[in-house]
Amino acid sequence: MSLHTLNSLTVGVPDVEAVRGYYEDFGLSGEDDGWLSTTDGGRQLRLVPASHRQLMRMEIGVDDFDDIGRIAGRLRRFDLTVSRLTDEAVTAVEPVTGVQVTARVTRRLIQRPSPETAYNQPGLIKRPEARAPGLLREGAVRPRRLGHVVIGSTDQAASRRFFTDGFGLKVSDEVRDAATFLRCSTDHHNVLVTRAPITFLHHTSWQVDDVDEIGRGAMAMLADHPERHTWGLGRHFIGSNFFWYLRDPAGTFSEYYSDLDCIIDDALWSPRVWDEDKALYSWGPPPPPSFVNPEDLAAHMTGAHSAVG
């Protein structure tokens, strides 16, 4: 796959400082120029002023200059306008959601496994004579990298075509007549486009080492702010990952995740179309209604935008 990484997101919010403080609590490192960084992926989230929460820009990493030319050709072939083209990057605006998507030549992200993720199993003891490392960790949880973003689209099929036919993302799985899981890396999904009554940013997702880090991170976030809790702990069905969702001051959900399905060889993976009752989760508490239909969507539809907190 010539596409290899979801490099970064630019998100508009009404109160940049409040949301920035939330993501610093979440474990991202604030940079002097306003970016927020993960330990492995670097500068992956930028917050900018906007009337309401919205995904404004997305950047995808590709291998070389030939990839840029191929993407530009696909965009034009499907009557999609290329808004900017250089030797190192190509940019186009997804016409339904208005998100500006850029493919840029960047180095592939190399991640080293954590030495502290050994789990004993029946018949397979990986951690003899030692306590579980998750019990002994004291430092703050730090996400390793950005995993995926979920956006609502009023024309889900058209948005899907933009990413697949235009930029070359691949379909991993689908929810019948509702959502498409798309990948630009070996992750099961990096972009999820879901059917919605309006365009909106649903959530961003951030990789941590294991389920212990999900629990530690979420509990630390909730210690002084129980109102941040949304949904978790649980395990998704599509993608298989453990999850815990929290909500930032602008109303966007943020997810700690680990153990996501990976697709190394495209020929060995068979995308499937799932019904909604099977798609969302395998186990965990039921999702609250506000997760499926965020509370501020009505305000978005009427133009009465405001922060949720």
Element (H, E) at 159: helix 156-161
CA–CA gap between residue 58 and residue 148 (Å, rounded): 11
- Please tell me the pTM assigned to this model: 0.95
From residue 95, give the alpha-carbon distance in Å to each of 28, 82, 107, 110, 166: 31, 12, 29, 33, 12
- Classify strands 191-195 and 145-153 as parallel, antiparallel or unpaired: parallel
**CATH T-level assignment (fold) for domain 3-109+142-301:** 2,3-Dihydroxybiphenyl 1,2-Dioxygenase; domain 1 (3.10.180)
**What pLDDT score was predicted for residue 305?**
53
**What pLDDT score was predicted for residue 115?**
77
**What pLDDT score was predicted for residue 278?**
76
Task: Please tell me the number of Cα atoms within 13 Å of 271 on its side-chain side.
Answer: 16
**What pLDDT score was predicted for residue 165?**
95
CA–CA gap between residue 274 and residue 238 (Å, rounded): 9
Q: Give, for all 309 residues of the chain, the pLDDT tens digit.
A: 599 999 999 999 999 999 999 999 999 999 999 899 999 999 999 999 999 999 999 999 999 999 999 999 999 998 888 988 898 999 999 999 999 999 999 999 999 988 777 889 999 998 999 999 888 999 999 999 999 999 999 999 999 999 999 999 999 999 999 999 999 999 999 999 999 999 999 999 999 999 999 999 999 999 999 999 999 999 999 999 999 999 999 999 999 999 999 999 999 999 999 998 878 999 999 999 999 889 888 777 776 554 443
CA–CA gap between residue 301 and residue 146 (Å, rounded): 29
